[in-house]
Amino acid sequence: MDSAMIVLGRFQPFHRGHAAMISAALEHLKANGDKIPLRICIGSSEAESSLENPWNAEERERMIQTWLDSNHGTESRKTQIVQVPDLNDPPNYVRHAEKFHGTAGSIFTSDRGTADLYEDAGWEAIMMQHENRSNWQGWRVRATMQMMSTITDYEAVRSVLMESIPEAVVDFLIENDGLRRLAFMGHGGEPVG
């Protein structure tokens, strides 16, 4: 696989922080002549279903593609999405991940630890500042979604979730029953709500 600029995340779910990072990465590529593609890497692709990992890799890929298609038109055709299973061995992670996302290119990230791992493996790391980090953390977004998972007024659900999740992804989750399952992922097997 050819080198690319990569963005790495679990995308559980794909939220506005991810959208901001991918948009910034696409802008960076455009400003530098689009010489390489953007490759979005879905981490923890093999994760078993849990409250921390409610959506499988294919569902996360569909969330990302839905957002790309609705927000980035022609750039979405040049953007690739790949799945990367966990290794749980940080010093050897990059070499493992390269089997899935290609060899040395650049990584666009807001996480210093990830940047360090990739730089140590010969990659260029392009750092981005977190945007609205306190509200757009995956665990916080999932907790809000879990609270909304038993509400049947979809306009109310959309209104709340669109604060942290792009509209196209909220619609995708509602249309594909991606929220209701969260009601049954609480501790002890009791539905939330």
* Count of residues making up the chain: 193
Instruction: Name residues whose C-beta falls within 8 Å of residue 67's C-beta, 6 or more positions apart in sequence.
Output: 14, 19, 166, 168, 169
- Edge to edge, the sheet with strand 124-127 lists 80-84, 38-43, 5-9, 106-109, 124-127
pLDDT at 41: 98
pTM (global) more than 0.85: yes
CATH number for the domain formed by residue range(s) 5-127: 3.40.50.620
Place of tokens 């992922």: 185
End-to-end CA distance of the chain: 46
pLDDT at 34: 73
Distance CA 186, CA 8 (A): 27
User: Considering only CA atoms, which of 148, 185, 145, 181 is closest in space to residue 165?
Assistant: 145
pLDDT at 138: 82
Domain range list for the chain: 5-127, 138-189
Q: How would you write the pLDDT of the chain (193 residues) with one tens digit per residue? A: 788 999 999 999 999 999 999 999 999 999 988 788 999 999 999 999 998 999 999 999 999 999 999 987 766 678 999 999 999 999 999 999 999 999 978 999 999 999 999 999 999 999 998 766 666 788 899 999 999 999 999 999 999 999 999 999 999 999 998 998 898 886 544 444 4
